[in-house]
Amino acid sequence: MKVSLKNIGKKYEGREEFTLRNIDLEIEDKDFCVILGPSGCGKTTLLRMIAGLNSITEGDLLFNDKRMNKVPSKDRDIAMVFQSYALYPHMTVYDNMAFSLAMRKERKTVIDERVREAAELLQITNYLHSKPSDISGGQRQRVALGRAMVRKPRVFLMDEPLSNLDAKLREHMRVELVRLHKSLETTSIYVTHDQTEAMTMATKIVLMNEGKIQQAGKPDEFYNKPANLFVARFIGSPTMNVFEGKIEGGRFISNDGSIKASPSAQDEANVKAFEGKKVSLGIRSERFLTGEADEKIEVKVDVMEMLGKEKILYTNLPSGDEVVISVPGHLEFHEGVSYTFGIDHGSLHFFDTETGNRIN
């Protein structure tokens, strides 16, 4: 099902400011849409409005072009999975999963079929007669998913469903969720503050900050073409290097003069339009060249972190500004030594320093 948000806004009672404003968004049928952003940016508020758990102050919410603003939550044909799982502790896994169908007075045979089908898919058949307290966190999370699945909703809404799991299990469940989505093909809207979850699971990411959408699109667009400095710094690990400077003679020169970087032929015209103006240059840590290049920087390695497949070099320009550079783990580097790295013209991100918006 398609979910459309048209100029949606939310103002909580007793609050002076709108928590969310001018939210325009199309979530296509079968999308796995991840709403991403720092704590307090309004992600949960948005999800709860879609779920019908929060009222909508302004704008329209449409499901397949039908206005849903005033439709009660129970009639929206959605299922929500919470961070806390919210399982009934005194009921078995089976009864937890069957609960909503039993409330709807579905036939026992239908309930049984749906519960077993979901349990099979989630690999929890062996625990159907256990109590939530007798199974692990990861299994509990699957029960919560199963409980949502048996209702065969038109939309799955998930609020940080993996944040109570340890790192390994989270990684495993990410892949499981993607698999599940591929087989069920139900439109899903998933809230998280974790960029890795967004980059790995989403067909569409919506990155929010301070109640506004900063960028919406496919994961690779966030990495390759961040719309502004906020997005550039939010996506990617280590955080993108950003240097302040200006455009002189069609190329970027940092304030301390130690970085000179020419745009690629493709970006030349856009960058030239900023001649004499303040510009911020973004370079991802993994995009410095270790081979020959016409424009270079010289840096001294201060601290080196070995992560196995890569090394992260915390380095300093002559001016003292920090530059973080990642290099393949098998290459030899040493703390306290100076190295030269090349600038890759095709990997440069130019931003208008005043507005923060992308130029190229």
Q: From residue 301, give the alpha-carbon distance in Å to each of 212, 238, 316.
A: 39, 16, 7
CB nearer to ligand ATP: give 40 or 257. Answer: 40
**With binding defined as CB under 6 A, does residue 207 bind ligand ATP?**
no
Provide, rounded to whole angstroms, the least separation between the CB of residue 164 and ligand ATP. Answer: 14
CB 89 to ligand ATP: min, Å = 24
DSSP 308: S
Task: Confirm or reject binding of residue 193 to ligand ATP (CB under 6 A).
Answer: yes
CB of 23 to ligand ATP, least distance (A): 12
Residue 229, C-beta contacts closer than 8 angstroms, at least 6 positions apart: 242, 280, 282, 351, 356
In terms of CB distance, is 160 or 176 closer to ligand ATP?
A: 160
Please give the backbone phi and psi of residue 6, each rounded to the nearest 5 degrees, phi first. Answer: -115, 110
Q: For residues 327 and 312, what is the distance between their CA atoms, to the nearest angstrom?
A: 7
According to the binding rule CB under 6 A, does residue 161 interact with ligand ATP? Answer: no
Helices (H), the chain: 43-51, 93-103, 108-122, 137-149, 167-184, 195-201, 219-224, 229-234, 268-272
Chain positions 102 to 141 lying near ligand ATP, rule: CB under 6 A, are: none
193 vs 300, beta carbon nearer ligand ATP: 193
Q: Which of residues 6-65 bind ligand ATP (CB under 6 A)?
A: 12, 15, 19, 37, 39-45
Q: Find the shortest distance in angstroms from Cβ 198 to ligand ATP.
A: 13
- Distance CA(176)–CA(30), nearest Å, equals 17
Three-class SS state of 195 = helix
Nearer to ligand ATP, 41 or 297 (CB): 41
Least distance to ligand ATP, CB of residue 40, Å:
5
Rounded to a whole number of angstroms, the minimum distance from the CB of residue 21 to ligand ATP is 12
| Minimum CB–partner distance for residue 38 and ligand ATP (Å) | 7
Between 17 and 294, name the residue whose CB sits nearer to ligand ATP: 17
* CA pseudo-torsion sign 197, 199, 204, 205: positive
**Token reading at 42:** 């309004």
Closest CA to 322 of 239, 219, 206, 200: 239
Residue 279 C-beta: closest distance to ligand ATP, Å: 31
Nearer residue to ligand ATP within complex by CB, 163 or 264: 163
Q: Could you tell me how many residues of this chain bind ligand ATP (CB under 6 A)? A: 12
Compare residues 11 and 116 and give the one whose CB is closer to ligand ATP: 11
Output 25 or 124, the one with its CB closest to ligand ATP.
25
Residues 60/7, Cβ–Cβ less than 8 Å:
yes
Q: Which is nearer to ligand ATP, 13 or 166 (CB)?
A: 13
From the CB of 45, what's the least distance to ligand ATP, in Å? 3
CA distance 286 to 236: 10
* Cα–Cα distance, 205 to 312 (Å, whole number): 27
d(CA 294, CA 170): 43
User: What gap in Å lies between CA 162 and CA 305, rounded to an integer?
Assistant: 28
Q: Is the peptide bond between 219 and the residue preceding it cis, with omega within 30 degrees of 0?
A: no
Give the span between the Cα atoms of 317 and 117, in whole angstroms.
59
**Under the rule (CB under 6 A), what is the footprint of ligand ATP?**
12, 15, 19, 37, 39-45, 193
